[in-house]
Copies of this chain bind each other. A is one copy, B any other.
Amino acid sequence: MEVDYTLYLLTDRKILEGKDLSRAVEEAIRGGVTLLQMREKEVSTREFYELALEMKELALSFKLPLIINDRLDIALAVDADGLHIGQDDLPLTAARKLLGPGKILGLSVSNVEEAVYGEENGADYLGAGAVYHTGSKDIAAPPIGPGGLKKIKDAVSIPVVAIGGIGLSNIHEVKETGVDGVAVISAILGSQDIESAARNLFNAWRR
Q: 0/1 per residue, A55-80, Cβ < 8 Å to B?
A: 00000000000000011110011000
Contacts of A77 in B (CB 8 A): 72, 90, 94-95, 98
Inter-chain pairs besides A45-B88, A47-B88, A76-B98, 13 sampled, C-beta below 8 Å = A44-B88, A45-B70, A45-B90, A46-B88, A46-B90, A46-B91, A49-B90, A49-B94, A72-B76, A73-B73, A77-B90, A77-B95, A77-B98
Contacts of A71 in B (CB 8 A): 45, 73
Q: How far is the CA of A72 from the CA of B47 in the complex (A)?
A: 15
Contacts of A91 in B (CB 8 A): 46, 49
Contacts of A85 in B (CB 8 A): 45
Q: 0/1 per residue, A177-193, Cβ < 8 Å to B?
A: 00000000000000000
How many copies the complex holds: the figure is 2
Report the interface size for chain A: residues with CB under 8 A from the other chain. 20
Contacts of A94 in B (CB 8 A): 49, 77
B98 lies within 8 A of A45 (CB): no
Interface status of A89 (Cβ within 8 A of chain B): yes
Q: How far is the CA of A47 from the CA of B88 in the complex (A)?
A: 7
A interface vs B, CB < 8 Å? 44-47, 49, 70-73, 76-77, 85, 87-91, 94-95, 98
Contacts of A90 in B (CB 8 A): 45-46, 49, 73, 77
Q: How far is the CA of A89 from the CA of B144 in the complex (A)?
A: 37
Contacts of A95 in B (CB 8 A): 77
Which residue of B47, B73, B88, B89 contacts A98 across the interface (Cβ within 8 Å)?
B73
